[in-house]
A and B are shown apart, each in its own frame.
Chain A
Amino acid sequence: MIYVALVVGAFFMLMPFLYMLSTSLKAQNQVFLFPPRWIPNPIVWANYPTAAVRLTLDALLNPVIFTTAIVLGQGLVTTMGGFAFARLKFPGKDAIFIIYLGTMMVPFVVTMIPTFVIVARLGWQDTYQGLIVPILASGAFGTFLFRQFFMSIPEDIGDAATVDGANPLDIYWRIYLPLSKPALTAYGVITALSAWNMYLWPLIVIQSKELRPLTLVIAQFSSQMNAELHILMACVTLSLLPIFLLYLFGQRFFVEGVTMSGIKG
């Protein structure tokens, strides 16, 4: 009985992917048949090379650059900030922290217009830094997260190192970061997921073809390639592949990241 429910649920969850895969392997003249044929005959593997060429190398590399920069940058910025809040004393600490907390409720739609204006004033429109730097700032939540995490590490460990002559940077780099590996991995995976899938911000900042990330490219294809649905679906499949592979090997980290952060990106 439970199995029946689980199977029905799984069918609905998987069906869109099955449709995507099946369409991506069809010959052009079979794409628009009704009722749809779920098992393509013949299977046209050549759709994938065609799709990869259509996507261009830029579109495949851009999200890799973007995602890597966001994950490393946000990881560094949030853990350092979290460390300062958790372990260092400085004037105005509590007040600043409360302001950080206060802004966490504000959704991106509210900040997107002024952020765009600031980026435009900086002359960063249509550049990598315009795409990346403002997203690094969405780390207020991560800062909070790592502050909480670092608070749970006993202070004695840091104190012992201080006696041996360690400065705060040593303590952060050699003690706190290694002790936070599971949290770092989980946060990194979730950040990567949200960066890879990001659409609205790139849509606002990026105009030139060479800088567009995958989401933008396939969204534009979606409105242009109505006649070539099989190629479009192959493009979509290719865009999902890297994150699906990551998921296949690191499902645990995705789950931990989501549970830890309460958000999907």
Chain B
Amino acid sequence: MSSTLLQPTSQEAPSPSRTTPARPAARRKFRREWLWALFFLGPNLLLFLSFTLIPILFGFGVSFFRWTIVEPPVWVGLENYQRFFFEDPLAAKVVRNSLIYTLGALPISVLLPLALAALLNAGLRGTSIFRGIYFLPLVTSSVAAAIIFKWLYAKQAGPLNQFIGLFGFARQDWIFDENLVLPSLIILAIWHRVPLNIIFYLAALQNVDRTLYEAANIDGANRWQQFRYVTWPLVTPTTFFVLIITTIALLVGAFDMVSVMTNGGPLDASNVLVFNIWRTAFVYFQMGYASAMAYVLFLVILAFTTVQWALQKRWVHY
């Protein structure tokens, strides 16, 4: 591959190198291709090093220091981690909130889109209009979505209270109630996440061979059985993929919504890990502790992904 790119040069300038042994010539070609590679990859590599790789290592280092940015960092060893796991009462609450939020939003975020995708894929007329509507939250910024939902949840004049009023329920103060704020965030998260997952499932469903359904039909399978025994096994790899990326997105992506809608409140009832990391770093300027928490979050994501990976052979059919 290397030599082919440089063929023309050796044809255009065949002068003294003709007589010299093949080796130096080959080496010179190699050097030029290396320069081309530097030209193409250089900017990318420089950015990658400065703003991805070095920050990853740097962040890990910072997690062993006490550092307010203004004062020089002080080595504290594992103190930040110790504080997170054993001493900080807020940490336990934040972890609990993150788990409730993630596990609460996960099942519906993963399964509802599959059902909706199956409906959208049924080949009915007007589906493209529905598809257009269903994908709208995808292009909506989470900030805008959080602002709108904040007012949907409003106690005094919120439409949600109007809606539950139809069933005789009293008005609730959704996002200012310690017990209701996480469910409120979960609903928003699901609303915002569903379209993306529908797209993944639709792509998978469109690859399913139609004749399989015809065969199932001839065998007398009803719609549910067709879904259960034809569609489901064929989309398990997609379901697996959706499960993994949705979990990661819920764990790391909650920041915008929490920041805009509740600011972690009331009484930290909606303070989740990402939000706490941001606040610790950029409001309290405890860079070391925040970095330690960020690394814990990363390890949680790694662990979760590994466990899912190990469990997949029980239910994923490739």
CA–CA, A93 to B281, complex, Å? Answer: 36
Q: Is the CB of A78 within 8 A of B44?
A: yes
The verdict on B162 contacting chain A, using a C-beta distance below 8 Å, is yes
Select from chain A the residue with minimum beta-carbon distance to B147: A222
Partner of B130, one of A10, A117, A193, A229: A10
CA–CA, A60 to B259, complex, Å? Answer: 22
Q: Is the CB of B4 within 8 A of A96?
A: no
The verdict on B191 contacting chain A, using a C-beta distance below 8 Å, is yes
Q: Which of A56-112 contact B (CB under 8 A)?
A: 77-78, 80-81, 83-85, 87-91, 93, 96, 99-100, 103, 105-112
Q: Is the CB of B134 within 8 A of A9?
A: yes
Q: Which of A163-197 contact B (CB under 8 A)?
A: 163-169, 171-172, 193, 196-197
The verdict on B255 contacting chain A, using a C-beta distance below 8 Å, is yes
Select from chain A the residue with minimum beta-carbon distance to B120: A6
Q: Is the CB of B151 within 8 A of A143?
A: no
Given contacts A106-B56, A113-B59, contact A137 B47 (CB under 8 A): yes
Q: Is the CB of B1 within 8 A of A91?
A: no
The verdict on A227 contacting chain B, using a C-beta distance below 8 Å, is no
Q: Is the CB of B37 within 8 A of A88?
A: yes
Q: Is the CB of B298 within 8 A of A3?
A: no
Q: Is the CB of B40 within 8 A of A168?
A: yes
Q: Mark B274-294, 1 if CB is under 8 A from A, else 0.
A: 100110011000010011001
The verdict on A53 contacting chain B, using a C-beta distance below 8 Å, is no
Q: Is the CB of A200 within 8 A of B255?
A: yes
Q: How far is the CB of B128 from chain A (nearest CB, A)?
A: 9
Given contacts A35-B162, A222-B147, contact A117 B69 (CB under 8 A): yes
Partner of B138, one of A163, A215, A264: A264
Given contacts A109-B297, A262-B241, contact A136 B134 (CB under 8 A): no
CA–CA, A155 to B4, complex, Å? Answer: 10
CA–CA, A35 to B1, complex, Å? Answer: 71
Q: How far is the CB of A219 from chain B (nearest CB, A)?
A: 5
Residues of A in contact, count (CB < 8 Å) = 103
Partner of A162, one of B7, B146, B159, B297: B7
Select from chain B the residue with minimum beta-carbon distance to A142: B44
CA–CA, A90 to B58, complex, Å? Answer: 28
Residues of chain B contacted by A110 (CB below 8 angstroms):
55-56, 59, 294-295, 297-298
The verdict on A44 contacting chain B, using a C-beta distance below 8 Å, is no
Q: Is the CB of B34 within 8 A of A113?
A: no
Q: Is the CB of A36 within 8 A of B157?
A: yes
Among B1, B48, B133, B200: residue with most chain A CB under 10 A: B48
Residues of chain B contacted by A23 (CB below 8 angstroms):
151
Q: Mark A27-38, 1 if CB is under 8 A from B, else 0.
A: 000011111100
CA–CA, A215 to B245, complex, Å? Answer: 24
Q: How far is the CB of B108 from chain A (nearest CB, A)?
A: 12
CA–CA, A16 to B191, complex, Å? Answer: 10
Q: How far is the CB of B266 from chain A (nearest CB, A)?
A: 15
Q: Is the CB of A105 within 8 A of B252?
A: no
Partner of B147, one of A17, A80, A232, A247: A232
Q: How far is the CB of A179 from chain B (nearest CB, A)?
A: 17
Q: Is the CB of B133 within 8 A of A80?
A: no
Q: Which of B159-185 contact A (CB under 8 A)?
A: 159, 161-162, 165
Given contacts A2-B124, A77-B43, contact A111 B143 (CB under 8 A): no
Q: How far is the CB of B160 from chain A (nearest CB, A)?
A: 10
CA–CA, A83 to B44, complex, Å? Answer: 11
The verdict on A210 contacting chain B, using a C-beta distance below 8 Å, is no
Q: Is the CB of A111 within 8 A of B291?
A: no
Q: How far is the CB of B115 from chain A (nearest CB, A)?
A: 8
Partner of B277, one of A89, A109, A164: A109
Q: Is the CB of A114 within 8 A of B52?
A: no
Given contacts A81-B41, A113-B287, A262-B241, contact A34 B156 (CB under 8 A): yes
Given contacts A88-B40, A118-B50, A222-B260, contact A81 B45 (CB under 8 A): yes
Q: List 11 A-B contacts (CB under 8 A).
A: A34-B157, A36-B162, A89-B1, A100-B48, A109-B252, A113-B55, A117-B58, A138-B51, A199-B255, A239-B141, A244-B136
**Interface, chain A (partner B; CB < 8 A):** 2-3, 5-6, 9-10, 12-17, 19-20, 23, 31-36, 77-78, 80-81, 83-85, 87-91, 93, 96, 99-100, 103, 105-118, 120, 133-134, 136-140, 143, 155, 158-159, 162-169, 171-172, 193, 196-197, 199-200, 203-204, 215, 218-219, 222, 229, 232-233, 236, 239-240, 243-244, 246-247, 251, 254-255, 258-259, 262-264
Q: Knowing that A168-B5, A199-B141 are A-B contacts, what are 20 other residue pairs whose CB atoms are under 8 Å apart, sorted by A's residue number?
A: A13-B194, A19-B159, A23-B151, A34-B156, A81-B43, A84-B36, A89-B2, A106-B52, A106-B56, A107-B301, A109-B274, A110-B297, A118-B58, A133-B51, A137-B48, A163-B7, A199-B255, A229-B151, A232-B147, A258-B200
